[in-house]
Structure 1
Amino acid sequence: MLRTLPNVVRFRVAAGKGDRNLLLRRRHALVVVLTFLTGSADAVGFLALGGAFSSVMTGNMVLLGLSAGSGHAELAVTSGCAIVSFIAGVLAGARLVGSAQPEDPVWPRQVTRALVLELLVFLVFLVVWEVSPPSRPAHVGLGLLMLSAAALGVQSSAIQRFGVPGLSSTYLTGTLTSLIAGVAARSPWRDLRPKAHVLMALMSGAGVGALTAIHLPAWSPVLLLVPLVLVISVSARMAE
């Protein structure tokens, strides 16, 4: 009987590793869904809410610099407000999720709580979007952009709680750089695939968001709410 104990221990360890790998794959899938949301929000913000981005703060800082050089006051206000709102969302999200801990599970409960906060912000976004006319005043569009940027700031902080270097659903220039560097170094596809998934989700979300903003604008908030509700529902079970 004593001889069988090492086999039992090895079996349990292997089972534990299998469960964790499954959770890691689910976490990656949920981050991909959130990245699709990000692409949609950026497309809607750029095309329908004043020509700035909801999550790409590097792009907004460039727009802010361009506005200073060209004397474009309206662009300065739009990009500047998006940056400030994103920062506010990051601060709120960081306060809620805290920092990564060595004993953290694959999906800490705090991440789901932060995503619930993001959902609440997007629900306000939905209400304002629906009650305002299609040809909404500039200040209403700016308010919607600020809500979207704040929500994605919360999302950015939530993903940081995982404590995984390079894992993000909003700022992905580093992901693209890492992917191309990996291709150049002939890294295995299994290492490159997660990065490719995230980048494809961003571009797909932007494409769908652009089509919706142009042809079915009333449905634009759905692209932000449905993916988020899906992620919250699945992650709530993961965090149990």
Structure 2
Amino acid sequence: MPEPNISTPEPVKGASDHRTKAVPRGSVQPLIGPHVQVGVGVVLIAIAGYVDAIGYIELGGLFASFMSGASISLGVGISEGHWDAVYKGAVLIAVFLAGTTTATILADVTGIWALPAVLLLEGSCLAGTAVLAGTGWGAAVAILPVVAAMGVQNTVLRPVDGVRLGVTFMTGTLVSLGQGLGKSLLGRGGLRGWSPHALLWCAFSAGAAAGASLYVAFGFMAVSGAAALVAAIAGLLAAMVLPRRRNFPSGEADKST
């Protein structure tokens, strides 16, 4: 008589127990649904366009988040001996890098609270610009917290289904949009292959239009609206994470894998 099979059954493919699975350090996204992530990403991209338009006007042609432009300005300045342009480009790049570095460290040490914490950091940077502008600092100094905030924002969200969320540059988004449209015209893809990228581009452009319009009315203080919105999103996400965190054993959710 054959012995009974008492081996542990194979887990069902795709099944998981979120109560015992450790969440990777620096990631809150497993606890927040993809629709919420996409919504947050669209709003953040609109904010990027908003503050970039304000920075563009204030800086006379330089963008707060477009470090390719700052790098070109630096390179051209070196070649022509325009050291003021070299200095401005170098400072923008250094501050942007400082923002991304700080956000990466903060996300790593805050575990499942990474997304709210990093967004709060971004909101604080944007608020810093409003404070500097309101206390009489010139645009060249007041814009620096915005540059840091844009560096922070690029670290916030991971792609969802191949769609880059929350980024502050549109070149990659437009490339993905063009590829999606090409595949759709060839009959190899449908609406979902290109529409998310089109939505992000529209959000960025709409944000830029809003930023330029409000700059006319409020000047640099228009950045304070973006700061308040980002801080509000951070609070809402923290409120979403809190009840889900209680499903984890004590300390388990903050372990790294």
1:76 aligns with 2:101: no
The equivalent position to 1:129 in structure 2, one of 133, 141, 145, is 133
SS of the residue corresponding to residue 70 of structure 2 reads helix
- CA deviation vs aligned residue, 1:175-221 (integer Å, no higher than 9, x gap): 11011111011021123222112111111111111122234315412
Q: Deviations over 1:80-123 (max 9, x none)?
A: 21111000000000111139xxxx9xxx4211101111122222
Q: Distance in 1 between matches of 2:127 and 2:224?
A: 10
- 1:171 pairs, out of 164, 169, 186, with 169
How far apart are residue 233 of structure 1 and its match?
Answer: 2.9
Offset, 1:239:
1.9
Over 3 Å counting, the alpha-carbon distance change for 1:192 and 1:218 in structure 2 is: same
What is the aligned counterpart of 1:204 among 194, 206, 210? 206
Aligned partner of residue 157 in structure 2, secondary structure: helix
Is the CA contact 1:49–1:142 (under 8 Å) kept in the aligned structure 2? Answer: yes
CA contact (8 A) 1:209 1:223 kept: no
Q: Is the 8 A contact 1:49 1:144 kept in 2?
A: no
What does 1:1-240 align with in structure 2 at a 5 Å threshold? 23-98=33-108, 108-132=112-136, 140-160=138-158, 166-169=163-166, 170-186=168-184, 187-217=189-219, 219-240=221-242
d(CA) in 1 for partners of 2:92 and 2:86? 10
Q: How far apart, CA to CA, are the structure 1 residues paired with 2:221 and 2:129?
A: 12
Consecutive unaligned residues of structure 1, counting only runs of 5 or more, are: 1-11, 14-19
CA contact (8 A) 2:106 2:114 kept: yes
Query: What is the letter of the counterpart of residue 108 of structure 2?
Result: G
If each structure's helix is expressed as a fraction of its own residues, which one has the higher value?
1
Q: Give the unaligned 5+ runs of structure 2.
A: 1-14, 17-29, 243-257
- 8 Å CA contact retained: 1:166, 1:174: no
Q: Do 2:129 and 2:142's aligned partners in 1 also have CA atoms closer than 8 Å?
A: yes
CA shift in 2, pair 1:234/1:208, >3 Å: same
How far apart are the structure 1 equivalents of 2:65 and 2:89? 11
Q: Aligned in 2, Cα 1:29/1:43: closer, same or farther, shift over 3 Å?
A: same
| 2:115–2:156 Cα contact (<8 Å) kept | yes
2:130–2:221 Cα contact (<8 Å) kept: no
CA separation of 1:218/1:172 partners in 2, compared to 1, >3 Å: closer, same or farther?
closer
Q: Which amino acid aligns with 2:68?
A: T
Task: Give the TM-score of the pair, scaled to structure 2.
Answer: 0.72
CA 1:71–1:220 in structure 2 vs 1: closer, same or farther (change >3 Å)? farther
Give me the whole-angstrom Cα distance separating, in 2, the residues matched to 1:130 and 1:218: 8
Distance change >3 Å, CA 88–CA 235, structure 1 → 2: same
Percent identity, aligned pairs only?
24
Q: TM-score, normalised by structure 1?
A: 0.77
Q: What do the CA deviations read for 1:145-168 (whole angstroms, capped 9, x no partner)?
A: 2211111111212224x6875523
Going from structure 1 to structure 2, the CA distance change for 1:191 and 1:235 (only over 3 Å counts) comes to: farther
| Deviation larger for 214-223 or 142-151 | 214-223
Contact 1:48 1:213 in 2 (8 A): no
CA distance in 2, matches of 1:109, 1:219: 29
> Are the structure 2 counterparts of residues 89 and 164 from structure 1 closer, same or farther at C-alpha, using a change threshold of 3 Å?
farther
- Check whether the contact 1:40–1:223 (CA below 8 A) recurs between aligned residues: no
Pick closer, same or farther for the CA change 1:178–1:218 going to 2, 3 Å.
closer
- CA distance change for structure 1 residues 50 and 225 in 2, over 3 Å: closer, same or farther? same
